[in-house]
Amino acid sequence: MALVQSRASLLAGDDVELSVAVGPGASLEVVELAATVAHDVRGGCGAAVRVGLEVEAGGCLLWLGEPLIVAAGARLERTTILELAPAARALLGERVVLGRTRERPGALVTRTRIACDGAPLLDETLDTGDAETLTSAVVAGAARMVAGLTLAGIRDGDPPAGAMQAHGPATLWRSAGPARAGGGWPDALAARWRGLALAADGAPAPAVHA
């Protein structure tokens, strides 16, 4: 399923809601054709994006998103909620670019919540509104892009260095670094986790060093 923008990205007052449901045993890949820019609201009200994702038993959802560019003066709240039924899997990829060239980022609050079989699995928030905290060494430092891959519903039994195991069936990879075309996450890791998510029984994929 391809998402095609029909207007100039996110402007003051925009309110976008997207719901995606994957049926039992089905597989769906969501593809974005271009990056999204959250523009300067010029003193107006902010924008909001709410994404609701549901994957029923045995289903699989793949969504490796194109970058979200948070321009100076932007004000955006984005919420992604993913509900996984038993034996459902998902692979989500996110890239946030902190401002356009030679500008500071606007104010973004993006929250991702994942539940598996009704139990909380991940609740993660990035807030770029406090520049001092954002540029601290414990958050993004001097990085211009924050990126993440989340494999949910199953774990990678042999994750590469830098990956983290969640308390439940999920493996996470996070990075903060330079903003560059095609950057964000290692292609080999994305390919490996894609294979794991698509495997009906969750069997380990061949080892790939990212």
Contact (CB, 8 A) for 102 and 74: no
Contact (CB, 8 A) for 99 and 144: yes
How confident is the model over 148-179, as pLDDT tens digits? 999 999 999 998 888 999 999 999 999 887 77
Rg of the chain on CA atoms, in Å: 17
First to last CA, the chain: 27
Return the pLDDT at 134.
75
Contact (CB, 8 A) for 114 and 122: yes
Return the pLDDT at 182.
66
Angle among Cα 166, 203, 25 to the nearest 5 degrees reads 90
Return the pLDDT at 138.
67
Contact (CB, 8 A) for 67 and 123: no
Collect the ranges in the chain with pLDDT lower than 70.
Answer: 8, 138, 141, 181-182, 200-210
Return the pLDDT at 76.
96
Q: Is the dihedral of CA 61, 18, 116, 123 positive or negative?
A: positive
Specify the DSSP class assigned to residue 10: B
